[in-house]
Structure 1
Amino acid sequence: MKYLELLFTCSALTTSVLTANAQKSAPNLVFIMADQYRGDALSCLGKEPVKTPCLDQLASEGVLFTDAISSYPVSSPARGMLMTGMYPLSNKVVGNCNSNTAPYGVELPQDARCWSDVLKDQGYQTGYIGKWHLDAPYKPYVDTYNNRGKVAWNEWCPPERRHGFDHWIAYGTYDNHLKPMYWNTTAPRDSFYYVNQWGPAYEADRAIEYIKAQNKQQPFALVVSMNPPHTGYELVPDHYKEMYKDLDVEALCKNRPDIPAKGTKMGDYFRNSIRNYYACVTGVDENIGRIVEALKQNGLFNNTIVVFTSDHGVCMGAHQNDGKNIFYEESMRIPMIISWPEKIKPRKDNNLMIAFADLYPSLLSMMGFQKEIPEAVQTFDLSKEILTGKKRNLVQPYYRVEANNHATGYRGLRTATYTYAVHATDGKIDEVFLFDRTQDPHQMNNIAGKQPKLISKFNKQLHAWLIQTNDSFSCIIKP
């Protein structure tokens, strides 16, 4: 295949001149994310009956963050924040990239300086494999099944919009996990191809080829973006389903008051989905294990920063919500493991509330490029905390934005113990939420009406944050 020929040809060549920082000793980066992966779905945490032996092993070799979150738990906005280090109103990705939001310019700006642009300029080889979902569909729409309905979702990413990624085996968004589709590095818009293989397995195969082809004289950064366990839960190989056929779902629901009763729409949705969801998680785990093993076999693991995380979680029926895009823990909480044996001692970190988008400045700083971080970056540089385990008390933002009306939607804050959010419609606040997650871990009781002092405190903090980040929603919040 042409993309394989290109891969090995490019990998055989080295850049004649590297910047002073990107020398032989510079760390590699392998960034793996799995879409819609809940924060508690790791067997080493002991909270959900899921099997993840490979991720458990990676967690034992690195840092397992137990309080990682997604500040805007939806695919495109979360990815937009990750790539730019800016919050939605600044990076323009205020909602999912599709034909409904396209008229409002919702896509990753071509002139944004992403962390991948920085690494490319520092002499890194760069590769992207899997789901991208940062381009707005345009007519005539690409002829895939998810572009034939009322809303078009999928779009090709042209080379000039790939933000420094040389090697490209990717797609916009496409949820047929058992027959995924891709564009390779040189393919034009009308030349995608389908694969009769489960998406994560195919993507792991391509990642392993990429890793094996590295010349070890030039550092590399590789993103592997897997779609499962995104919806399409049933589209997973049968041998993973077999592992959960005897799971006692009612026992799982027994201590979860946020899961509706059996016989209700959302209660049944959870019960009908959870086994397949876990099957997807275990399948993702196995293929991540294959990628990590390839790093070890090729002598690259010790000086490679390996990140595993997700763009967001999913309620899957909890709180009467089948999806994400809400402030509940099932949606906001994500897994996060960072391994770098040469620099980081293994530990379980229960103290640091780190957000998906904080990885932009944090990773660049860890890799020695702190001075290259653009001034426009708004997210937190937590490199010192990641490397040393130093504690830092943070308040993280929460967003949900309407593409056509920025005066409608949610803004909020998440602290170590509280979740606070306000909703406005056309510039007027109509709902306020406050949950004490220490006393009420399942977020069943909105105590906003009982805590006026806390509401006042968080309101002031939120107003200050919105002003600091140039968010017009600040005009709605009255401190």
Structure 2
Amino acid sequence: MLVGTATLPHPSIPPGRFAVIRIFSLVPLVVAALVTFAEAADSKQPNILFIFADDQSYETTGYRGMTQVKTPHIDQLAKQSLSFNRAYNQGSWSGAVCVASRTMLNTGRFVWHANDVYNTTEKERQEGRLWSEHLKKAGYQTYMTGKWHIKANAQKAFDVTGHVRGGMPQQTPEGYDRPKSKDDKTWQPWDKKFGGFWEGGKHWSEVVGDEAVSFLETAAKDDKPFFMYIAFNAPHDPRQSPKEFVDMYPAEEVEVPEDFLPVYPENKEIGCAPTLRDEHLAPFPRTKYAVQVNRQEYFAIITHMDQQIGRILEALEQTGKADNTYVFFTADHGLACGHHGLMGKQNSYDHSIRVPLLISGPQIKPGENEAAVYLQDIMPTTLELAGISKPDHVEFESLLPVALGEKETSYDAIYNAYLNLQRSITEDGFKLMIYPKANTIKLFNLTEDPHEMKNLADDPKYASRKKELFATFQMWQEKVGDKLKIDPTLVD
């Protein structure tokens, strides 16, 4: 007698995929079947290595060839990976965009829903709703080192932790409003007297590398599947690295972005005035030389971080477990660092909301994918790989159906928000930006104008496009819990 159907892990199906098993006979046999398949699934669970950068824009990887930055080890990983070329962060309720990004990632909730639980993420941990807690319950040995920056206890959220860092390394007064001229050599990235990444004697990226390698050496002797959350503070400012890395990028040879501006016109209205900490890193108005120096140091600390990532990937190979390990690489958000007269990540331009996103593993065919996704989709992806049903509170989507060609995309559009000062919606190659306080909008054709330099908002040819995008935006407001009222006449 047919008593039911169930979606269960099956030993003949690759890790993370499922088959519908029709169960016949009596209840004891049903239970036996469940136990058998559960045990088979446990033996096949893949390892998960998650590598997380801080402030790294999608354009700052060598394999994309968009800037002068050198990332040989990330490039090698990219050759073995599927690159999601349009991966986004959904926004922030705080100037510390990393807090919102990481809270979304670890809770699986959309931005404003994540904000609702931000001060109760310790409760979320206790209830087993954080990313690591789901994997713990599924039998994973969980490990974390580096930047945490959400309101939950990392030492309790993971089985093992290394150094758990807070937000940014301590900045110094000398690190701001610089360089004022080509003669300004007061602050140097390799000078350890300024602390920051050098606090404690060893560069924090190297500490993360050391600790991740050490855990992998231990994991090599254990049959239990592992989940590693490796979170670099780099390339966040203060952008410090050893001199040999800075010397790779002579300042006068660093390319200034095509969209360079001395001052962003609406900087005050969108919350990016000189008083914002990130924007205070370089002088106002911007000079091309100041942008060159900031990008020199940005590229240098990325290349230094890349070296540590290379060490981690080599250690993974030496464990003998690489063939059954999924590796994810991304960042919490991007960074302007000289684009559009801006320095920080508190804006809606692609350089600040798009990130690199690589996934490699047994089922993944290397290549590139242009589907618009969120970086936070990594969380439900790993749950699916581990054989965990998607929890009700997780709103982001697994990347696997797109990665395996089962569907073209997960989202009809990409929503982004910053405080109550900025909103944007990206759909079908166009982006609508809304500045409520400035009472203005901007419209960009991203296909023809990837640097977002030509505002089409006042062009009559795009009147219907503006309204279509605004209608999509309103639907997304409801979906993500965005209660900000926007005057619809802005798009008239």
- Using structure 2 for the length normalisation, give the TM-score: 0.75
Q: Secondary structure at the match of 2:44?
A: coil
For residues 372 and 290 of structure 2, what CA distance do their matches in structure 1 show? 30
Gap change, CA 1:475 and 1:270, over 3 Å in 2 = closer
For residues 282 and 166 of structure 1, what CA distance do their matches in structure 2 show? 28
Deviations 1:33-71 (A, max 9, x none): 110111111112111111111011000011122222222
Query: In 1, are the aligned partners of 2:50 and 2:327 still within 8 Å (CA)?
Result: yes
For residues 430 and 318 of structure 1, what CA distance do their matches in structure 2 show? 23
In the other structure, the counterpart of 1:90 is 113
Gap change, CA 1:21 and 1:362, over 3 Å in 2 = farther
Query: In 1, are the aligned partners of 2:234 and 2:302 still within 8 Å (CA)?
Result: yes
For residues 327 and 344 of structure 1, what CA distance do their matches in structure 2 show? 31
For residues 122 and 109 of structure 2, what CA distance do their matches in structure 1 show? 12
In the other structure, the counterpart of 1:472 is 483
Q: Secondary structure at the match of 1:216?
A: coil
Query: In 2, are the aligned partners of 1:313 and 1:334 still within 8 Å (CA)?
Result: yes
Query: In 2, are the aligned partners of 1:36 and 1:312 still within 8 Å (CA)?
Result: yes
Query: In 1, are the aligned partners of 2:49 and 2:229 still within 8 Å (CA)?
Result: yes
Q: Secondary structure at the match of 2:444?
A: strand
Q: Secondary structure at the match of 2:436?
A: strand
**What's the CA shift for 1:433?**
2.1
Query: In 2, are the aligned partners of 1:259 and 1:270 still within 8 Å (CA)?
Result: no
Query: In 1, are the aligned partners of 2:144 and 2:158 still within 8 Å (CA)?
Result: no
In the other structure, the counterpart of 1:391 is 408
Deviations 1:257-291 (A, max 9, x none): 33549994253431221111111111111110110
Q: Which amino acid aligns with 2:365?
A: K
2:423 corresponds to 1:400: no
For residues 56 and 46 of structure 2, what CA distance do their matches in structure 1 show? 27
For residues 434 and 50 of structure 1, what CA distance do their matches in structure 2 show? 30
Q: Secondary structure at the match of 2:208?
A: helix
In the other structure, the counterpart of 1:414 is 426
Gap change, CA 1:270 and 1:20, over 3 Å in 2 = farther
Deviations 1:204-252 (A, max 9, x none): 110011011013311110111111111111x211111121237612xx2
Q: Which amino acid aligns with 1:418?
A: F
2:336 corresponds to 1:315: yes
In the other structure, the counterpart of 2:103 is 80
Deviations 1:99-120 (A, max 9, x none): xxxxxx6574532612211101
In the other structure, the counterpart of 1:124 is 140
Q: Which has the larger radius of gyration?
A: 2
In the other structure, the counterpart of 1:146 is none
In the other structure, the counterpart of 1:446 is 455
**What's the CA shift for 1:474?**
6.0
**What's the CA shift for 1:469?**
2.9
2:230 corresponds to 1:224: yes
In the other structure, the counterpart of 1:53 is 72
In the other structure, the counterpart of 1:352 is 371
For residues 243 and 469 of structure 1, what CA distance do their matches in structure 2 show? 43
Q: Which amino acid aligns with 1:110?
A: K
Query: In 2, are the aligned partners of 1:467 and 1:474 still within 8 Å (CA)?
Result: no
Stretch moving more, 464-473 or 324-333: 464-473
In the other structure, the counterpart of 2:123 is 110
For residues 120 and 345 of structure 2, what CA distance do their matches in structure 1 show? 20
Query: In 1, are the aligned partners of 2:168 and 2:236 still within 8 Å (CA)?
Result: no
2:209 corresponds to 1:204: yes
Q: Secondary structure at the match of 1:449?
A: coil
2:374 corresponds to 1:362: no
Query: In 2, are the aligned partners of 1:398 and 1:421 still within 8 Å (CA)?
Result: no
Q: Secondary structure at the match of 1:265?
A: coil
In the other structure, the counterpart of 2:246 is 241
For residues 422 and 109 of structure 1, what CA distance do their matches in structure 2 show? 34
In the other structure, the counterpart of 1:175 is 169
In the other structure, the counterpart of 2:345 is 324
In the other structure, the counterpart of 1:258 is 260
Q: Secondary structure at the match of 1:473?
A: coil
Q: Secondary structure at the match of 1:111?
A: helix
Q: Which amino acid aligns with 2:397?
A: F
Q: Secondary structure at the match of 1:315?
A: coil
2:363 corresponds to 1:343: yes
Q: Which amino acid aligns with 1:92?
A: N
Q: Which amino acid aligns with 1:348?
A: E
Gap change, CA 1:389 and 1:231, over 3 Å in 2 = farther
Gap change, CA 1:24 and 1:446, over 3 Å in 2 = same
Query: In 1, are the aligned partners of 2:197 and 2:203 still within 8 Å (CA)?
Result: no
Alignment match of 2:322 (pick from 267, 289, 301): 301
Number of residue pairs matched by the alignment: 402
For residues 402 and 380 of structure 2, what CA distance do their matches in structure 1 show? 13
Query: In 1, are the aligned partners of 2:162 and 2:211 still within 8 Å (CA)?
Result: no
For residues 213 and 52 of structure 1, what CA distance do their matches in structure 2 show? 27
Q: Secondary structure at the match of 2:432?
A: strand
Q: Unaligned regions of 5+ residues in structure 2, if any?
A: 1-36, 171-188, 264-282
Query: In 1, are the aligned partners of 2:55 and 2:235 still within 8 Å (CA)?
Result: yes
Query: In 2, are the aligned partners of 1:81 and 1:357 still within 8 Å (CA)?
Result: yes
For residues 377 and 344 of structure 2, what CA distance do their matches in structure 1 show? 24
Q: Which amino acid aligns with 1:447?
A: L
Give me the identity figure in percent: 26
**What's the CA shift for 1:423?**
2.8
2:473 corresponds to 1:462: yes
1:127-166 alignment runs, 5 A limit: 127-135=143-151, 158=153, 162-166=156-160
For residues 54 and 162 of structure 2, what CA distance do their matches in structure 1 show? 19
**What's the CA shift for 1:409?**
2.6
